[in-house]
Amino acid sequence: MPTSYQKNILKLRKEKDETIKANNLHWFNLVGLFWLEEGENSFGIDESNKIFHPSFPKPFCGNFTLKNGQVTFHPEKDVIFESDIPKPESRILITDRDENPDMIHIGSLTMKVLVRGDAFLIRMWDKESENKKKFDGLKYYPVKEEYKVPAKYIPYETPKQIKKIEALGNEVDASFLGHVHFQFKGVDCSIEVELSDKDLLLFFSDETNATTTYGGGRRIYLTPPTTTDFILDLNRTENWPCAYTDYATCPLVPKQNRLSISIEAGELRYKE
């Protein structure tokens, strides 16, 4: 008979699946990630375009112009676009560096400008993506209470500001706030924790990455503990978006966060 704790975790997992199914801009809906070059970057259904996809309505639909660190949108006059902002045509676009980036919709596709280091990219979603249509729920290890482990959060006196490497090879700024220490199966473990919005991010790898879990490592988000001692719930371990799609941009596991044990808890590898 499942305990109330196990029932709660299973409920959260089911809710996450339902959220994914309802979200047309989820990682499962990604269908493209295109690097912009200086000058014009055309888009349309024709593969001769810098940005192409069969769901575009015409062979050529317009272009994104990158100049002096800014991206301008130039759609064809007879191509109908929708947008989360008024009059998206022929103007400088707001990127994901800002709080409310421009989202440009054409047919079943949505596009947004990303900035990664000095590079500019177009991220593309399709609400009719085959990957999303095939989604039948995330996969997990069974919920076990033994994976709720006593831990200590030891903050730094001064946060460490470093450059973090992403899978694309670019560097991004990161702020590391301290360490989380815990003992698991008789092994002392330490994970350096990063600031992520208002939460703490624990990004680590372990021995399961070679077999049952995503090879690029896993993560846990924590509300910053109010005391040094707290319970670390490894059943809440989850995958990075790169576990589901080739079009996400995820960081590489810091060397200091590579654990030499197997943590058979949380989310499993999605792709076999």
DSSP annotation string for 31-45: EEEEEPPSEEEEEES
67 contacts 39 by C-beta, under 8 angstroms: yes
Answer yes or no: is pLDDT of 238 > 90: yes
What value does the mean pLDDT take over residues 65-83? 89
164 contacts 196 by C-beta, under 8 angstroms: no
pTM of the model: 0.89
pLDDT of 131-156, one tens digit each? 999 999 999 999 999 999 999 999 99
Answer yes or no: is pLDDT of 83 > 90: no
Cα–Cα separations (whole angstroms), residue 226 to 138, 139, 169, 223, 232: 31, 32, 36, 9, 13
Cα–Cα separations (whole angstroms), residue 233 to 7, 198, 199, 225, 248: 15, 19, 15, 13, 26
Domains of the chain: 24-133 (2.60.200.20), 138-257 (no CATH)
Q: Can you read off the two tokens belonging to residue 261?
A: 């044990």
- Residue 99: its pLDDT value, please? 84
- Residue 244: its pLDDT value, please? 94
User: 87 pLDDT band (50/70/90 cuts)?
Assistant: low
